[in-house]
């Protein structure tokens, strides 16, 4: 089954509006015609999103995502951003359940599930992040952890809804460390994730779901990772802060 690769730049708490303008100007000069075969997404901090939209000026060459969204509709929830607001500004994606939100903000898969359902109800594609810590991997809990994160985080979805979700497998020990999973380890985790998705939603939906790899992806390791059968793209942090290296990763997935 052919799945369109999806490469997303998670800028995390980097890139204010001024830097984003500079990044987008450089990215434009780096991308080529063949890059059309890849879904490309930038995920800026909320405050930078309007500037990105202004620069794109309606061009759908680059998708825009948010780094989080509230599980509530509106009202007295200080600091939160709703799906309605993301829709109003034109965000097509939202990263949910990133390990940094699980670690620093106490988000559980059950809580993230509410956000996944909110996003889907609003027509926004969730990029649902999962991944094990080094301790969990070394104590043989890899599959138990990944399965629980999938079952709890994607609970109550119909197969048709699940088919639209992007899953990002980001081993926590590979994030920001310069240590990537080997392509064989990554492929084996991705194949396992797809098998769990097939158990929950059927083979057809599982075959349609794009599973990104994340964790120290860079232009040097991207070709081998993207060449694996069940790796359908990347969620990139550090290397996506430089337009030339983000573009190189995009080209590696063609």
Using CB under 6 A as the criterion, which residues of the chain lie in contact with ligand 13P when the complex forms?
10, 98, 170, 175-176, 214-217, 235-239
Query: Annotated catalytic sites, by residue?
Result: 98, 170
Taking the C-alpha atoms of residue 51 and residue 224, their distance in angstroms, rounded to an integer, is 34
226 vs 239 by CB, closer to ligand 13P: 239
Taking the C-alpha atoms of residue 231 and residue 216, their distance in angstroms, rounded to an integer, is 15
69 neighbors 124 (Cβ within 8 angstroms): yes
Task: Tell whether the torsion through CA atoms of 157, 159, 160 and 164 is positive or negative.
Answer: positive
The minimum distance between CB 234 and ligand 13P, in angstroms, equals 8
Q: How many CB atoms within 10 Å of residue 56?
A: 16
Q: Which residue is nearest to ligand 13P (CB)?
A: 237
Taking the C-alpha atoms of residue 177 and residue 172, their distance in angstroms, rounded to an integer, is 9
The minimum distance between CB 181 and ligand 13P, in angstroms, equals 11
Closest by alpha carbon to 90, among 114, 55, 117, 127? Answer: 55
10 vs 109 by CB, closer to ligand 13P: 10
Nearest-10 Cα torsion for 43, 227, 158, 172 = -60
The minimum distance between CB 238 and ligand 13P, in angstroms, equals 3
153 vs 238 by CB, closer to ligand 13P: 238
Closest by alpha carbon to 219, among 15, 30, 3, 36? Answer: 30
The minimum distance between CB 213 and ligand 13P, in angstroms, equals 10
68 vs 230 by CB, closer to ligand 13P: 68
């Amino acid at each position: 089954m052919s799945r369109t690769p999806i490469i997303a730049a998670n800028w995390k708490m980097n890139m204010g509006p001024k830097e984003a303008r500079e990044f987008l100007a450089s990215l434009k000069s780096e991308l080529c015609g063949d890059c059309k075969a890849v879904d490309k997404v930038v995920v800026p901090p909320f405050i930078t999103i309007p500037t990105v939209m202004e620069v794109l000026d309606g061009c759908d060459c680059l998708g825009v995502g948010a780094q989080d969204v509230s599980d509530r509709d509106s009202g007295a929830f200080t600091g939160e951003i709703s799906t309605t607001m993301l829709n109003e500004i034109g965000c097509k994606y939202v990263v949910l359940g990133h390990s940094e939100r699980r670690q620093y903000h106490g988000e559980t898969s059950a809580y993230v599930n509410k956000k996944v359902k909110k996003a889907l109800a609003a027509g926004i594609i969730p990029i649902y992040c999962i991944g094990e810590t080094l301790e969990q991997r070394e104590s043989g809990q890899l599959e138990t952890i990944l399965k629980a994160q999938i079952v709890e985080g994607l609970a109550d979805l119909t197969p048709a809804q699940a088919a639209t979700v992007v899953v990002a497998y980001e081993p926590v020990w590979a994030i920001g460390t310069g240590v990537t999973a080997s392509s064989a380890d990554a492929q084996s985790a991705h194949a396992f994730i797809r098998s769990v998705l097939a158990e929950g939603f059927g083979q057809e939906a599982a075959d349609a779901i794009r599973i990104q790899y994340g964790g120290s992806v860079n232009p040097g390791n991207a070709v081998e990772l993207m060449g694996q059968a069940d790796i359908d793209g990347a969620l990139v942090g550090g290397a996506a802060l430089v337009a030339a290296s983000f573009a190189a990763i995009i080209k590696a997935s063609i």
